[in-house]
């Protein structure tokens, strides 16, 4: 979809951002409060990311996925915090928002897939021992982008390098 930019030039919107906007208007028409609230928050986060830095830019689908992944992680952490504080209602609201965000993210890697990717990265980097962790992470991160949480990837790299 092409929209006039603020400087009069046309800018091409990413397909994922366009889908978020389309789904937001459908959720508003359906009076789905959780979905409406979540998609508004997600689009706000995307727009904030677009104007962050020295100059504004249009985000690619990959960039939008990174923003949504970050927002989903915030929801998981908040749900855990609310649950630990005995605030079940707020924890459930955060989990509901997280579930909506997950629909827009790529499928998560299984443990077996992650183990295989890390093993390949270690072989490709010719790495051995815990000191090579950064080297392996540089190789494996682009391959798992958005499909596995960073902490999970780091734990698997650390486990395999310790063997």
Of 147, 124, 148, 144, nearest to 136 by C-alpha is 124
Predicted pLDDT at 12: 59
**Residue-wise pLDDT tens digits, 45-92:** 999 999 988 888 888 888 888 899 899 989 999 999 999 999 999 999
Please state the separation of Cα 40 from the chain's center in Å: 16
**pTM passes above 0.75:** no
Predicted pLDDT at 142: 84
Domains (ranges, CATH) in the chain?
15-103 (1.10.1510.10), 111-162 (1.10.10.410)
> What confidence tier does 13 reach under pLDDT thresholds 50, 70, 90?
low
d(CA 132, CA 122): 9
Structure-block tokens of residue 47:
């727009």
Mean pLDDT of 134-156: 84
């Amino acid at each position: 979809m092409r929209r006039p930019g603020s400087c009069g030039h046309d800018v091409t919107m990413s397909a994922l951002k366009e889908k978020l906007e389309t789904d937001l208007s459908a959720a508003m028409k359906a009076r789905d409060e959780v979905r409406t609230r979540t998609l508004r928050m997600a689009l706000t986060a995307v727009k904030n990311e677009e104007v962050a830095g020295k100059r504004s830019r249009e985000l690619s689908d990959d960039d939008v996925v990174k923003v949504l992944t970050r927002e989903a992680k915030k929801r998981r952490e908040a749900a855990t915090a609310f649950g630990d504080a005995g605030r079940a209602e707020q924890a459930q609201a955060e989990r509901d928002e997280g579930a909506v965000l997950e629909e827009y993210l790529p499928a998560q890697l299984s443990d077996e897939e992650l183990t295989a990717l890390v093993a390949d990265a270690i072989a490709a980097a010719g790495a051995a021992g815990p000191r090579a962790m950064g080297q392996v992470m540089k190789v494996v991160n682009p391959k798992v982008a958005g499909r596995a949480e960073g902490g999970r990837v780091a734990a698997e790299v650390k486990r395999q390098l310790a063997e």
